[in-house]
Amino acid sequence: MSFLSLNCDKQFLYVIVYWVLEITFILIKRFEPDYFVVFEDSAKNEYILALFATLSDLLSVILIIYTKIVSKSSRNIEDKENNNVNEITGKNTLIYVGLKPILKKNFIKKAILLSFNSFISRSFNWLSYAIYSLTNYEVKKIATYCGNDFVVTIDIIMRYIFSLFILKTVIYKHNFFSIIMIGTGAIILLISDFLVVQYSPISKLMGPTMIYCSIIVLRGISIPLEHMLVKQIFENNHIFPAAMQSIRGSMELIIMIIITPILYFSFCSNTDLNPRNDTSVIIIMIFNMLKSFITSYIRLKIIYLFSIQSVSFLYISICLGGSIVKIYDYIIADERPVDYTFYVLFELIGTLIVLFATLVYDEVIIVNKWGLNENVKIGIIKRGEEEDKQTTIELDEETLIGTTDK
């Protein structure tokens, strides 16, 4: 038996699509940052991006309509086949009609809570810039990639904490091994990030970066909390991901409709709001909304099919995209410090360790040593098949002996 084995199914296609979209837009934002600027003020710009992300959730209505049309068509075909059978046999057949899921009493409360939590999560970006604007630093001095890595790291850790202590997820040997590796990789990633900021050939400052990180890092707690509520709703009410996305988007839009006028008259009434009318910006914003809709749906789909921990593997794409950007910055830089090269490679190693560990946790990669493959799903299934086979053999032998005795 090989040291490692892969256990991929068709659901892994969701992960590939997610990774391609995330890394592509990270690179576009690095090479053409002006395409993502609707307002010159960073806080206002991040707020409008949060609004677009909320609106993108409403595109899930298209999936709901499509699903209903397909389900209706399938049901009509099934009814027609049953009617044909009845005509031939002369018997009446009871046809099962799918019932709508009965929503539990706490569904509305949890849906409102997770929608409000989603609004807060998306607000940390513009809040961080709004608070940062009170300082004397320039926005360009922020190493935003450091904040992204910080958020992803805390996010992954919090998912395991919520799973263990709230969702009561059972931890096996390979899960414990993965958690240790994730912690190791996260430490390497964060240490190298701070060193990269210090020695970066692209002018960044640690002070502005830490101010920015201190606010945005709260997303690493709020997003796993939202996903935990989503998982509970999935399990208790059997709602499909597209419906959940539509409900969340609708409720969050209501929140933004209430909050936006308050924010405007409190902070922006004396300033001019002149959005850019550049055609390229409009096109990118449309594609960004489509990308946000698809990636948000994939996250919900992964939670629905697997667990909230499985989303960690999706988020590693953000760290990897950031590493690619740093390597590019190093290549185009006039000065290339040797220390910076080492720290970028060190960060990439940390990212790959976390990536490998999340794959082991989700049993995409199975380690066939040290008993780490004993309680993986595919191993349990194989053991069950072997036990059934052995039981069948024993029964056949007993039957043969009994026949011989007679």
Instruction: Tell me whether residue 390 is in a domain.
Output: no
What pLDDT shows up at residue 388? 47
pTM over 0.85: no
Instruction: Tell me whether residue 81 is in a domain.
Output: no
Phi, psi of 403 (to 5 degrees): -65, -40
What pLDDT shows up at residue 97? 43
Instruction: Tell me whether residue 311 is in a domain.
Output: yes
Instruction: Tell me whether residue 90 is in a domain.
Output: no
Instruction: Tell me whether residue 226 is in a domain.
Output: yes
Q: Is residue 294 within 8 Å of residue 17, measured between CB atoms? A: yes
What pLDDT shows up at residue 405? 55
Instruction: Tell me whether residue 358 is in a domain.
Output: yes
Question: Is 273 in a helix, a strand, or coil?
Answer: coil
Parent domain of 44: 4-56+106-369
Of 153, 159, 168, 166, nearest to 308 by C-alpha is 159
What pLDDT shows up at residue 18? 95
Instruction: Tell me whether residue 223 is in a domain.
Output: yes
What pLDDT shows up at residue 242? 94
Query: What is the C-alpha to C-alpha distance for residues 259 and 255, in angstroms, rounded to an integer?
Result: 6
What pLDDT shows up at residue 210? 84
Query: Backbone dihedral region of 171: left (phi > 0), alpha (psi from -120 to 50 degrees) or beta?
Result: beta
What pLDDT shows up at residue 381? 47
Phi, psi of 365 (to 5 degrees): -110, 130
Q: Alpha helix (H) ranges present in 141-275? A: 144-165, 173-199, 206-216, 219-237, 241-263
What pLDDT shows up at residue 380? 46
Residues of the chain with pLDDT under 50: 93-99, 379-388, 390, 394
- Number of compact structural domains in the chain: 1
Instruction: Tell me whether residue 398 is in a domain.
Output: no
